């Protein structure tokens, strides 16, 4: 199952809103084939692993491992449960059940009804963490929201008057770009957009960048850069070259943004500041995970305060200039 999870991670950034899935086929305690879901619309992991084998006549003597229940419905590809049945595997090991109501246990039920042994709940926590965006999307009907910021040793995001100010040091860019690769969408508030003119792209790792959004209710943003951006606002819906303006009608703009992302099958959102925008996600109880880089030595002495939260710290990594802390919401 650990190997399945490793393989599944190869699809990071490419499979949204699908889950990350890896598959391993074992014969006499030896892995004889592997597969993973490479990209949305392409073959599922188990199909890849089965098709990668030249001699499929031994599959009835093999076990199959998957970090997520096989699908049982016709989507962009035919049901994988049928393919597993066709080859009469000895036993199927499944990390977790699929929360998608179109599957939700029916893939496993189908296998068992046809006499295939199935064992579930293997490395369940790891499987859930890997596919946390997918689970959030299907169980709560909203995208998974990750907040990220850098703060000075004395707890500020930037000095005043408002200005661009570099806080984080060596090693933080890699983590940020890896997070961007994972997420389907990224958002900043209008002040950050105007002051920092951030690119918000993944430029360090092979793979896509998230779709870019700005939260700008009063259309105060300076949209001159040559890149595709969606501007959530109160005034208009219109397209102007690469800039798409989307009027949000909901009283609470964040709820409107969640709805828009769901409607567009974007299952994860990374919010990169500034403080007002980050705090509003925390206060609306819409944040799921927080990443902070706290400078070990850099002091600002006043200015824009870091957001306040009461999330659980689950990890701390000592970087050369900063402490990277990861927090999860208290469930």
Ligand X SMILES: NC(=O)c1ccc[n+]([C@@H]2O[C@H](COP(=O)([O-])OP(=O)(O)OC[C@H]3O[C@@H](n4cnc5c(N)ncnc54)[C@H](OP(=O)(O)O)[C@@H]3O)[C@@H](O)[C@H]2O)c1
- 305, 279 Cβ separation under 8 angstroms: no
The C-alpha R_g of the chain, in whole angstroms, comes to 22
Q: How far is the CB of 176 from ligand X (least distance, A)?
A: 10
CB-wise, 165 or 223, nearer to ligand X?
165
Q: How far is the CB of 226 from ligand X (least distance, A)?
A: 21
| Alpha carbons 223 and 229: distance in angstroms, whole number | 9
CB-wise, 51 or 225, nearer to ligand X?
225
| Alpha carbons 115 and 151: distance in angstroms, whole number | 57
In angstroms, the first-to-last Cα distance of the chain is 26
For the chain, the helix, strand and coil percentages under 3-state DSSP, each to the nearest 5:
30, 25, 45
Beta bridge partners of 193: none
| Alpha carbons 84 and 46: distance in angstroms, whole number | 8
Q: How far is the CB of 160 from ligand X (least distance, A)?
A: 8
Q: How far is the CB of 266 from ligand X (least distance, A)?
A: 18
**Rounded alpha-carbon distances, angstroms, from residue 141 to 135, 144, 158, 208, 330:** 9, 10, 34, 24, 19
Indicate the residue whose CB is closest to ligand X: 274
Longest dimension (CA), the chain: 71
CB-wise, 163 or 227, nearer to ligand X?
163
Catalytic residue numbers, as ranges? 46
Residue with tokens 């246990």: 105
Residues forming the site for ligand X (CB under 6 A)? 149-150, 157-158, 162-165, 167, 188-192, 195-196, 215, 217-218, 220, 253-254, 272-277, 280, 304
Q: How far is the CB of 114 from ligand X (least distance, A)?
A: 51
Of 43, 45, 41, 2, the closest CA to residue 22 belongs to 45
| Residue 142 region by backbone torsions, left for phi larger than 0, else alpha for psi between -120 and 50, else beta | beta
CB-wise, 23 or 257, nearer to ligand X?
257
CB-wise, 115 or 320, nearer to ligand X?
320
CB-wise, 165 or 205, nearer to ligand X?
165
Q: How far is the CB of 243 from ligand X (least distance, A)?
A: 17
Number of CB atoms found within 10 A of residue 46's CB: 29
Which tokens belong to 330?
């208290």
- 161, 247 Cβ separation under 8 angstroms: no
């Amino acid at each position: 199952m650990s190997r399945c999870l490793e393989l599944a991670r190869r699809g990071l950034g490419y499979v949204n809103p699908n889950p990350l899935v890896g598959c391993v086929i074992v014969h006499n305690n030896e892995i004889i084939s592997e597969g993973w879901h490479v990209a949305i619309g392409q073959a599922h992991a188990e199909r890849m692993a089965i098709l990668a084998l030249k001699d499929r006549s031994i599959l009835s003597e093999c076990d199959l491992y998957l970090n997520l229940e096989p699908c049982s419905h016709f989507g962009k590809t035919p049901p994988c449960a049928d393919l597993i049945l066709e080859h009469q595997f000895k036993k199927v090991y499944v990390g977790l059940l699929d929360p998608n109501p179109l599957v939700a246990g029916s893939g496993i039920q189908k296998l068992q009804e046809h006499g295939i042994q199935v064992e579930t709940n293997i490395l369940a926590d790891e499987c859930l963490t890997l596919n946390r965006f997918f689970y959030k999307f299907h169980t709560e009907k909203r995208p998974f929201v990750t907040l990220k910021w850098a703060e000075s040793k004395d707890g500020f995001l930037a000095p005043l008057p408002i200005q661009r100010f570099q806080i984080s040091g060596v090693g933080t860019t890699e983590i940020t770009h890896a997070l961007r690769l994972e997420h389907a969408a990224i958002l900043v508030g209008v002040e950050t957009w105007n002051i920092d003119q951030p690119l918000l792209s993944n430029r360090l790792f092979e793979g896509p960048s998230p779709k870019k959004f700005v939260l700008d209710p009063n259309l105060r943003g300076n949209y001159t850069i040559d890149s595709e951006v969606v501007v959530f606002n109160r005034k208009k819906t219109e397209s102007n070259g690469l800039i798409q303006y989307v009027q949000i009608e909901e009283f609470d703009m964040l709820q409107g943004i969640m709805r828009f992302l769901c409607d567009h099958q974007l299952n994860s959102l990374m919010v990169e500041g500034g403080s007002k925008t980050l705090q509003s996600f925390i206060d609306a109880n819409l944040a799921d995970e927080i990443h902070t880089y706290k400078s070990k030595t850099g002091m600002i002495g006043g200015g824009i305060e870091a957001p306040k939260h009461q999330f659980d710290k689950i990890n701390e990594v000592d970087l050369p200039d900063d402490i990277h802390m990861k927090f999860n919401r208290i469930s």
